[in-house]
Chains A and B, each alone.
Chain A
């Protein structure tokens, strides 16, 4: 068969795939692609798990290791059937969080850590590169088979690297065209998915066709084949339980963690319910894919010449029998397996590389120039495209320089062990809220390192690790032998590396998670991941805003405190015309609430919290409350401290004030005692001196009488002083009982004027009154009021220094009450003294003139207080002016 024909057919096939992808994209954009959402398409897209390694390699695997190849199919089957709930959780999280890749999942779960994104991306690129190389190799090898058939040499043609390069370049073009059409990965690649679904059908049909041909065309039916199998070495194959379990686990874990599988399982998933169909349909697909593996292997071993590559039996059996058409179909099946894997892997890896490595680097180089969004969009697209090219270039280079020496299956397993290092961080992140970024990073790095050291690097052969190093360990350290850690031998390198890397990875992951503390964002993301179901069940739209508002209120109360939060909610509800505490969760209200909360927890957290509840996003209220509780405790603690320090300074201030007051009181008391002493001792001095003079009998006649009168006057003065002091003491102590009577103001004034006139000291005083205005009936203690009036009139008599002393008494009703003004025509009181005339002992003039103890106005003020009125000095009236105000109720 001419290899040109083969290449032409391949190109036609590729062109067909382009058309399918293009058409599907077009349908999807036009909204006519309902069938694209079909669970069957989803299930078929999962078949990228079956790469060229599975298509060709399974037969080779069976030929070499018997039924061990079944583990490769068993793992994913167990995941689809038994771990269906893990998948569902992954898909739910992927959609809720808009996850774009495995690296994004891990990064996002652990507080959007870019470090983890970089680690997983690196791991994925390093782990997937050999796998891509494997696909290139298989395409090249299969092409070579046809070329060899041409020339009859049975050898790989010398232009194999060129073939691989062309294949890689073609795949890069296809992937760039259909993989980077949209920026948002969640918009999904309908074209690509549809193309790989078609490829899935092609490879299944091809393998089934070859199988049917082999069983019924070559071997004369199933019964004969069964007999052949019994007679073959495969029948003697012994099950190694540990190895079997390890490989099953490995393929199951890889099914979850392989970047390309994550791409089709989670990222390209359109509807969660697709999983339900896939959970039985995909195992069925795998079953069909594995159905004829053993027969082909057995028949191949029996019919093909010794030394034929069992990895190529699928091709070489039809070719050897001259069935070129069937061989062509088989070739297209293998080609499909290889290309679909490479395309999806390249998309998945390029997303990771551009999102976690290129973009962060570019942004940090740009230093804030990222504000131009269109600019960024272009950069991201270019980064994706370049990344695709780089990933495929890596694959090609690996293929070119590894020399293609390893059996296909071995490379596949090496890749698997590398990529499953993500498993602890992934599962831990899904099910354990205590998992932290530090734990994930520690586990991943350790697992990755062990994988590289124990499995990946040794796979390059003696170029990297010398045989003596493999045998005795680095620098002769035996327990560090790459394939026999701690001297434990007897395990196959793959199992050895798998066990050690995962054990140490998991141990570090748990240990570091336990000893490190999650950041708030990690905590929040952890809660969202772990409890994704609880809350997507409770997911609500705007329609059930009441429950939402209730949740918001509960949260707000924890953060702001009950009273404040309730007040806010009630006010907002009232503003919306609603009663009660629960306003509609309108954007305005949410914005307001966010602002209020951000005062307590900061804008970012407030936004996240409100967004989580109101946006219906995937965090349970319970989790949010845990965060809120912590915040509240911190706030409470700090406000307690604040309150305490406030209380302390308040107490200190009060003490200081009290101290000042006491000092003031002490000074006042001293001054008062001093004053009393003076007021008492002064008349006493005169009394004693004159008493002694009289006793001595040194004077007689008028002088005797004069001195006796002085003694009498001073005695009267003393008595009056004592009366005033007692009066003031009673008034100040508040012990006075008012004797309320009814009388007109005129009558009270009459009595006061008469009493003031009868006093001995003072000059004649012309008192002017308007009696008509004084006709107001009072209900008050008229004796006490009279006492105030007497004091004012007596003062006028004593102090008015006018040539013809005159006192005007003017009554008026004002807003403040009944006002009685007493204005004389004297010089008045100096402005600087106005403030102190109502203080005790504040006599302004000399002793002789005053005659009293200086308590009159102090007593008057106390009396007016008791009567509910006031007495005040009226400045600027020409003479001394006092205003007495009585409450109108009393007037």
Chain B
């Protein structure tokens, strides 16, 4: 059974690229572009991992991460945060909120797949 991943991202071109890469690698990809409803989507899909953007319309990636971590069901859910704001304090903020991994855009496709495989290895 293919592992499920939810992509929370609002840039259409980036969604298209990641969707292509992950699908090609055998992932079951669900795309969600709206921050406000992202947590609901995660609850519905019950993914094995999330790719979470920081700057989203409606709600920031940090808020979504916070809510997920507050929910026992998702306290240990692997969350790979992707952000174009590559500053140190963004990484610290994400770490503090319990992110599993943090990557700065742009990334290499191979690296993305490797990290995603790594954080979902135990599952």
Task: Using CB atoms and an 8 Å cutoff, list the residues of chain A in contact with chain B.
Answer: 670, 673-674, 677-690, 692-693, 696, 698, 710, 713-714, 845-848
Contact = CB atoms under 8 A, between A and B. Distances in A.
B94 interface: no
Given A692-B109, A846-B57, A685 B10 contact: no
A686 B13 contact: yes
A693 B21 contact: yes
Interface stretch (B40-48, B60-68, B83-91): B83-91
At the interface, is chain A mostly helix, strand, loop or mixed?
Answer: helix
Contacts of B20: 693
A684 B57 contact: no
A674 B85 contact: yes
Given A689-B14, A689-B17, A693-B17, A682 B84 contact: yes
A873 to B, nearest CB: 22
Nearest to B90: A674
A678 B84 contact: yes
Given A674-B85, A677-B85, A686 B17 contact: yes
Contacts of B24: 698
Given A688-B106, A693-B17, A678 B10 contact: no
Contacts of A670: 87
Contacts of B84: 677-682, 685
B17 A847 contact: no
A674 B106 CA distance: 15
A1 B81 CA distance: 147
B55 to A, nearest CB: 6
Nearest to A710: B13
Contacts of A673: 87
Nearest to A678: B84
A689 B109 contact: yes
Interface in B1-32: 10-14, 16-18, 20-21, 24
Given A681-B105, A689-B17, A693-B17, 6 more contacts: A677-B84, A685-B11, A688-B106, A688-B107, A692-B108, A846-B33
Given A688-B106, A698-B24, A846-B57, A678 B85 contact: yes
B12 A848 contact: yes
Contacts of B33: 846
A843 to B, nearest CB: 10
B108 A686 contact: no
A846 B105 CA distance: 19
B107 A685 contact: yes
Q: Residue among B12, B84, B87 with the most chain A CB within 10 A?
A: B84
A696 to B, nearest CB: 8
Nearest to B54: A678
Nearest to B110: A692
Interface string B103-120: 011111110000000000
A817 to B, nearest CB: 38
B11 A847 contact: yes
A681 B53 CA distance: 13
A677 B10 contact: no
Contacts of B18: 689
A759 to B, nearest CB: 19
Nearest to A711: B13
B21 A689 contact: yes
A681 B106 contact: yes
B14 A686 contact: yes
B10 to A, nearest CB: 6
30 contacts: A674-B87, A677-B85, A677-B86, A678-B55, A678-B84, A681-B85, A681-B86, A681-B105, A681-B106, A682-B105, A685-B17, A685-B107, A686-B11, A686-B13, A686-B16, A687-B106, A688-B106, A688-B108, A689-B17, A689-B21, A689-B107, A690-B17, A692-B109, A693-B20, A713-B13, A845-B57, A847-B10, A847-B11, A847-B57, A848-B11
Nearest to A679: B84
B10 A848 contact: yes
A685 B107 CA distance: 7
Contacts of A683: 13
Contacts of A690: 13, 17
Contacts of B105: 681-682, 684-685
B35 to A, nearest CB: 10
Interface string B88-102: 001000000000000
Nearest to B24: A698
Contact of B14 (A685, A693, A846): A685
Nearest to A698: B24
Nearest to B87: A674
Contacts of B109: 689, 692-693, 696
Q: Residue among B16, B108, B109 with the most chain A CB within 10 A?
A: B109
A29 B17 CA distance: 126
A798 to B, nearest CB: 15
A685 B11 CA distance: 10
Contacts of B85: 674, 677-678, 681
A674 B60 CA distance: 15
B59 to A, nearest CB: 13
Contacts of A714: 13
Contact of A682 (B11, B16, B21, B90): B11
A673 B88 CA distance: 12
A847 B33 CA distance: 11
Nearest to A692: B109
B87 A677 contact: yes
Interface string B68-89: 0000000000000001111100
Nearest to A706: B16
Contacts of A680: 84
Nearest to B108: A692
Contacts of A686: 11, 13-14, 16-17
A688 B82 CA distance: 15
Contacts of B86: 677, 681
Nearest to B84: A681
Closest 7 CB pairs of A and B: A689-B17, A681-B84, A686-B13, A685-B105, A688-B106, A685-B106, A678-B84
Nearest to A695: B109
A649 to B, nearest CB: 35
A690 B90 CA distance: 26
Contacts of B13: 683, 686, 690, 710, 713-714
Nearest to A680: B84
Contacts of A674: 85, 87, 90
A682 B108 contact: no
A695 to B, nearest CB: 10
Contacts of B106: 681, 684-685, 687-689
A696 B21 CA distance: 11
Contacts of B110: 692
A696 B110 CA distance: 11
Nearest to A683: B13
B104 A681 contact: yes
Contacts of A679: 84
A670 B89 CA distance: 10
